[in-house]
Amino acid sequence: MKMNIAKCVVGMAMALATQMAMAQAYPSKPVRVIVPFAPGSVLDVIARLAAEKMSAGFGRPVLVEARPGAGGRLGAEQVMRAPPDGYTTLFTSSGSLVGGGFLVKAVAYDTLKDFTPITAAVSPVDCLIVHVALPVNSAAELIDYARRNPGKLAYGSNGMGSTFHMVGELVKQVAGIDMLHVPYQGAPEQTNAVITGQIQVAFNSFAVSRAQAQAGKVKLLAVLRDQRYAGAPNVPTLSEGLPGYQALPNWFGYVGPAGLPPPVLSRLNAEIVKGLRSPDVLAKLDDAGVVPIADTPEQFAALMRATHEGYGKAVKAARLEPQ
pTM here is 0.84
Instruction: Report which secondary-structure segment, H or E, holds 139.
Output: helix 139-148
Give the whole-angstrom CA distance, residue 75 versus residue 61.
Answer: 20
Q: Where are the beta strands (DSSP E) in the chain?
A: 31-35, 62-66, 88-93, 115-124, 126-131, 153-157, 179-183, 201-205, 218-223, 252-257, 290-292
From the list 279, 275, 266, the residue with the least C-alpha distance to 294 is: 275
Q: Could you tell me the maximum CA-CA distance found in the chain, to the nearest angstrom?
A: 82
Going residue by residue through the chain, which has 323 residues, state the pLDDT in tens, using 9 for 90 and above.
555 554 544 444 343 444 444 556 899 999 999 999 888 888 999 999 999 999 999 999 999 999 988 888 999 999 999 999 999 999 999 988 998 788 777 889 999 999 999 999 999 999 999 999 999 999 999 999 999 999 999 999 987 777 888 899 899 999 999 999 999 877 888 999 999 999 999 999 898 899 999 999 999 999 999 899 999 999 999 999 999 998 889 999 999 999 999 999 999 999 999 999 999 999 999 888 899 999 999 999 999 999 999 888 888 877 777 77
CATH architecture assignment, domain 126-224: 3-Layer(aba) Sandwich (3.40)
Q: Tell me, which fold does domain 32-124+249-318 have in CATH?
A: D-Maltodextrin-Binding Protein; domain 2 (3.40.190)
Domain parsing of the chain, residue ranges:
32-124+249-318, 126-224
Same fold, 32-124+249-318 and 126-224: yes
The per-residue DSSP string of 288-312 comes to TTEEE----HHHHHHHHHHHHHHHH
Per-residue pLDDT, 1: 53
**Size (the chain), residues:** 323
245 touches 268 (CB < 8 A): no
3-state secondary structure of 264: helix
- Exposed e or buried b for every residue in 182-204, given b needs 16+ CB within 10 A? bebebbeebbbbbbeeebbbbbb
